Structures are given as C-alpha cells and as structure tokens.
Amino acid sequence: MEKRRLGKSGLEVSALGLGCMGMSFSYGPPKDKQEMISLLRAAFDRGVTFFDTAEVYGPYLNEELLGEALAPVRGQVVIATKFGFQLKPDGSPGWLGLNSRPEHIRQAVEGSLRRLRTDVIDLYYQHRVDPDVPIEEVAGAVKELIQQGKVKHFGLSEAGAQTIRRAHAVQPVAALQSEYSLWWRRPEEEILPLLGELGIGFVPYSPLGKGFLTGAIQQDTQFDKSDFRSTLPRFTPEALKANHALVDLLGQIAQKMKATPAQIALAWLLAQKPWVVPIPGTTKLARLEENLGAIHVELSEEDVRQIGDAAAKVPVLGNRYPEHIEQMTYR
C-alpha cells in the first residue's frame, strides 16, 4: 500500500483510509460486532493504516469497536476521531446541538481515549464548527491536549476557509476532512487552494457519494428508516433517477479502463493532489478489496481532466443534506 503525508504535518497514512461510521451508525442498524472486527483487521492486513471514527457514531459504539479491533496493532495504525457535538445524556443516537467549549473538549477527549483503548489520539478533528465558540479557543484547547501528550495532530471538518486560516494560526491544522467526490466538488473552489497554500492535508469523506457512485443504488432502491440516506434530498426516487447519468458515465469510463465505477471515482480523487487521502467506508470485505484496487488504477493528467470535465456536465439534482445540517458546514 502506498503511503501519503497529510500536508506538512509529517503524519503518514495509507493512501486510502477506512471510514468506519457505517459499521455502527447512520447506514441502517449497527452491524455485527465480530464481523466488523474481522473487517477492520482485514483492512489492516491489506495495508490500511488510517481509520476514521467519531464519538457521535453510535454514539460511542464506533470508537469502542475500533478500540477492540485495533488494540493488537495500535502502534502501527493512525486513528482519527472527532469532538464537537453535545450528545444526549441517555446515550441514544443523535445530538442536542454543537458544543466545542474548551471544557467540553477536555471532557470528550478522555472518553475517546478510554473507548479507543489508547493513551493518545493521532488526529483529533472538530466535527463541525461551533458558531458560539471562537475557533481560536478551540484550537487553543487542542493545542493544550497536544502539549499534554493526549493528542498528536489537530484537524477540522467541513470548516470554511477563514476558519481554517484562523485555527491554523493558533495550532497548525494537520488535515481538513470534508465531503468531496465527483458529485460534490465545492472544495475545489476555495478550500483545496487554501490547503495547498498552508500545507494542510485533505481527507475526503463520502468519496463514493454515500455509495451512489458505486452503481449499487438504483432509482427504486428503498432505504431503511435507520439509514440516514432516507432523509437526504439527493436520495429521493426522483433525484436517484436524474443523478444516475453520473453513474452511467463512470460505468463507461470504467469499462474502457478495465476497472469499476468506484475505482475510477477513487482514483480520480487520489490524482488530485499527493496530500489527498480519501476514506471510503464499507461493511463488506468484497467492497473493501474493490476500493483498495483503486490504488492500482493509473490515470494520466488527461484522463483526470476528461473525467472531471465530463462529470461536471452532468447536472446533479438535490441538495446533499437537509437545510438544518447543511447550515453546519463551511462556517
């Protein structure tokens, strides 16, 4: 497995990471724990060293899963987790709002360390920017955790350009995690150039469009009520039908290149910058192996340009999130 460095931070990870949220949260009921432990260890055996979780995934279940699964290889992997939501006192799914007050961050890190069975978090992201807490205070709190040896690197998720710049001035930001794929390309406008300027790595989540770009989702696909895609404007039957043109395009390109649509979508992201590390998620070994095959898909500069240009011509129907969630992004 090829390794990549996240910007100037010195944090080295596998070129593809593994997004672990769906194992416990959001994509239907939590999956069988032992099966997911086996999958996580299979990912490591195949060269994956970068694993992404958050305290809100479950909540808590996903961190506990990673803590158990990765304990035998803890020194050989990079674990990223996130803070920033005010969780419900009874531990039920969902959240009450955002909370990035320094005292809350100090409390959250202790829980994450315990669940992950570790004494240090490799990459600690603010999950969403809290408009009620100056980002300088957030960065300062994480800086203290780094000085105390509880955290190695600071990250942001779905933050806007000015917030990134302000945070980076207090505590260098190792990585930004935001959605980026062939059907959500907003980071290209302002974020990617800024990250290049500041030497910050980029970790695209949902690089396969929450599964849509794999071609496995059809216009008549029914989502379980516990699958959050059932609430997303881009996943209504009307939107799925309209947006399938993008999957068809990927399928045509994939056929020519003797790859799969998912591999083309991931290879295109990998070709953007050497400090881009996508984190596709899956709960199936076959999909994991398919995704990792993207590492071996070689795209020329012309291929990358043509794929991007062709995809840009396909109009995408539907917002990516409901309004109340979209409002939490690019602050």
Topology given in CATH for the domain delimited by 3-326: TIM Barrel (3.20.20)
Q: What is the pLDDT of residues 138-195, one digit of tens each?
A: 999 999 999 999 999 999 999 999 999 999 999 999 999 999 999 999 999 999 999 9
Q: What is the pLDDT of residues 39-58, one digit of tens each?
A: 999 999 999 999 999 999 99
Dihedral sign computed on CA atoms, order 27, 62, 318, 213: negative
For residue 213, pLDDT over 90 is answered with yes
Q: What is the pLDDT of residues 176-191, one digit of tens each?
A: 999 999 999 999 999 9
Domain boundaries, the chain: 3-326
DSSP string, 259-275: S-HHHHHHHHHHTT-TT
Query: Which structure tokens are listed for 275?
Result: 């400090």
Q: What is the pLDDT of residues 269-301, one digit of tens each?
A: 999 999 999 999 999 999 999 999 999 999 999
Residues marked active site are found at: 57
Question: Are 7 and 199 in contact, with CB atoms under 8 Å apart?
Answer: yes
From CA 84, how far away is CA 97, in angstroms rounded? 9
Give me the chain's average pLDDT, please. Answer: 97
β-strands 173-179, 201-205: how paired? Answer: parallel
For residue 219, pLDDT over 90 is answered with no
* Residue type present at position 206: S
* pTM as predicted: 0.98
Return the H-helix or E-strand segment holding 140: helix 135-147
